[in-house]
Structure 1
Amino acid sequence: MTASSAALAAISGLGFGLSLIVAIGAQNAFVLRQGLRGEHVFAVVAVCAVSDVVLIAAGIGGFGMVVTSVPAVVVIARYAGAAFLAGYAAIAARRAFSAGALNAATTGASVALGATVATCLALTWLNPHVYLDTVVLLGSFASTYAAPDRWFLGVGAMLGSVIWFTALGYGARLLGPMFARPMAWRVLDSVIALVMVGLALGLVLTG
């Protein structure tokens, strides 16, 4: 292993990791909404980033092979994740069409930190797509590198997750003026509901 090969592996990991997470999904939609509300942003970003770090480390360590070798685990995770995503879609749809929920969104009514963290953890750990991306796909990609370099690739991917979630959570405030109007929140929650339904259906139908 040389310094140049380690650096190239880290850069590859950064690029590959970002390509997996920079897309609208359950995690990103939740982080964006919390960032727009300016509510428990640090906790949400920390939960997402730390979770990704743990999952990436598991993928680099070969846990992806263990997961895929036990079909029952994959099936249970798929349907549990689909049920949770469908439930969250219903909540987002209710917010989109409920005047009371819209008022809460625009006036900044607080949601407890514990409830916010619990929702964030569920959106992360009950979503099989997270395991597919960070454990299976990234783990498979890392396996093409020699043992020392694959961990530098993992560090690069971890750094990508930290950068992305921090930018998404804290950068969302730049859109604040746009979301001063209730209609903008209605559109956002409608999109979130559709995304969650699409992800839930995808989990069930691809089984």
Structure 2
Amino acid sequence: MHRFIDQGISPYSFTEYPIFVECPFCHKHAIIFQQKQTNPSEQKAVFSCQFCCKSFDQQVQQENNLGYFAGAYLHIDEKCTCKQGKFVCHQYYPKISFIPPSIKLKCNFCRIQRQIYPQPFQIWREHSYEVNLDPYFAYRLYLTTETRHGLIFVYNIEQLNCLKAYISANLRERKFPNYNRSYFSRLPAWIKSTRNRKEILKAVLRLEQMASTIQPLTK
């Protein structure tokens, strides 16, 4: 009988290892790793893709809107002085930096033209409701696979190995109070169900096959 003991490992403890993500530029696998700084106690997350040679930290990403969900919607709905019409613009931009500092619009009633300067409250950032994202850049996790119940995803091989050991176990024990803080306590019920064990293990096998194609990180 395979026994698994939950030591209360946190989901964030797996972020200490390189995280495999889908590159938002070439859509191949890339890596996010912790880069040590001058102060030994400090480190920062860095994105690196060996296929398209992109590499940057979180600050560069935010300044340049580098990502899947950096788009924005421009919503302008201003009254014209004619009091009968409006200056209207509802347009999507793939990056917030693409929004021009000013835009010429015509009143939809009197057709007079006016230069409009978009204000922050008129710019709506696009948000993602995806759950399989990394915690630093919000890029999709490369090690993701579908099942009929939902997605199974992991940051890296270390997390995948832990998940496999947990799913394979016939007996699962917990060695700490149940505060719902551990990685395993937060797993969806359908993943933890022994009824779905065979299906989940097949999904884990698919993730292992995907992980075997990832080349080691070279700094």
Which one has more relative contact order, counting CA pairs under 8 Å at least 6 apart?
Answer: 1
Higher strand share: 2
Highest Rg: 1 or 2? 2
Q: TM-score, normalised by structure 1?
A: 0.26
Higher helix share: 1
Q: TM-score, normalised by structure 2?
A: 0.25
